[in-house]
Structure formats: structure tokens, C-alpha cells
């Protein structure tokens, strides 16, 4: 088992961290990660590949957002490495939180959020540190994700 801490931004009442120079909100209610960074940056930095266009995803302040599903290569959250990370890239960027990290990204991990100390502590098995895969399986009927071969759905 490996324990690591992620520093949280102390100016927010929500768990916000800095990843790749952008504010990343850890949203325990989110199923899929959302990345509102420019598509050309995603293509250059993460070798992003378009998976599906014109997708409508709910949960954005009670509404829906239109965008695309992209597959990113080599995405890191602190010491956790995702060889493949599929995410929703909305057409309208979120300037406050360009990255939203969903709870299933931490599937099989134990995490605690300590706002007083400004940190998120994560305990994860050593084999979950490298080469993780996060795949979005079905958007037509339900949002389903597959994390390292395990299907998760609402």
C-alpha cells in the first residue's frame, strides 16, 4: 500500500488542487472526469484522441453540457498514473475549474479530505499506481465507466 497527500487550495471550501497548472475540483458526485482545457493543448500534452462528438452530459449545476469524449494518454494525479483516461471535454469551458476529477478515478482507494490542514490523503495498492485505465463505456442509456477492467455504473 502507498499513502500520498495532495495539497488542496486553502482559498476554497471545496477540495480543489492544482494539476497541470489548472484548478482541479475533486467532485465525489461526478462519474466521469471533465477537462475544459483547449483541445489543441490536450492533443499536444496528452496525445488526446477524439472518441465521440456531440455528447450531452448532465450534472452541470442541474443542467446539461454539450461536448466530446476524448481519450488522453499518460495523465497523472499526483503519483497515480493513468495510461488511458477518457474524459468529457465540454464545448463551453469552465474557467473556475478546468479539471473535474470524478470519484471513480479513485476506485479501490481510501481517501480522506482534510480541509483544515488543506490536504487530501490517498491510500492505494501499489499496483494501482501505474498503468491505470479509465474508460467510458456507454453514454446512450447510462453513463458507465470501466476502471482497470471493473465496470461501475450508477
pTM of the model: 0.92
Distance CA(35)–CA(67), nearest Å, equals 10
3-class SS of residue 16: strand
3-class SS of residue 43: helix
Q: Tens digit of pLDDT for each residue in 126-142?
A: 998 999 999 998 756 67
CATH number of 2-153: 2.40.70.10
Domain spans in the chain, listed from the N-terminal domain onward: 2-153
Neighbouring C-beta atoms of residue 102, cutoff 10 Å: 21
Residue 44 is predicted with a pLDDT of 95
pLDDT tens digit at each of 154 positions of the chain? 999 999 999 888 999 999 999 999 999 989 999 999 998 999 999 999 999 999 888 776 667 889 999 999 999 999 999 999 999 999 988 888 999 999 999 999 999 999 999 999 999 999 989 999 999 987 566 778 999 989 887 6
Q: Tens digit of pLDDT for each residue in 99-113?
A: 999 999 999 999 999
Amino acid at each position: 500500500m502507498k499513502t500520498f497527500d495532495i495539497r488542496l487550495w486553502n482559498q476554497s471550501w471545496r477540495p480543489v488542487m492544482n494539476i497541470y497548472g489548472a484548478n482541479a475540483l475533486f467532485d465525489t458526485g461526478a462519474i466521469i472526469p471533465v477537462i475544459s482545457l483547449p483541445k489543441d493543448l490536450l492533443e499536444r500534452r496528452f496525445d488526446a484522441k477524439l472518441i465521440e462528438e456531440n455528447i450531452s452530459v448532465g450534472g452541470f449545476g442541474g443542467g446539461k453540457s454539450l461536448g466530446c469524449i476524448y481519450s488522453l494518454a499518460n495523465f497523472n494525479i499526483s503519483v497515480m498514473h493513468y495510461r488511458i483516461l477518457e474524459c468529457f471535454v465540454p464545448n463551453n469551458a469552465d474557467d473556475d475549474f478546468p479539471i473535474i476529477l470524478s470519484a471513480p478515478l479513485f476506485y479501490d482507494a481510501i481517501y480522506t479530505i482534510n480541509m483544515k490542514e488543506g490536504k487530501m490523503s490517498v491510500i492505494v495498492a501499489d499496483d494501482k499506481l501505474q498503468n491505470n485505465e479509465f474508460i467510458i463505456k456507454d453514454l446512450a442509456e447510462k453513463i458507465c465507466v470501466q476502471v482497470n477492467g471493473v465496470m461501475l455504473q450508477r
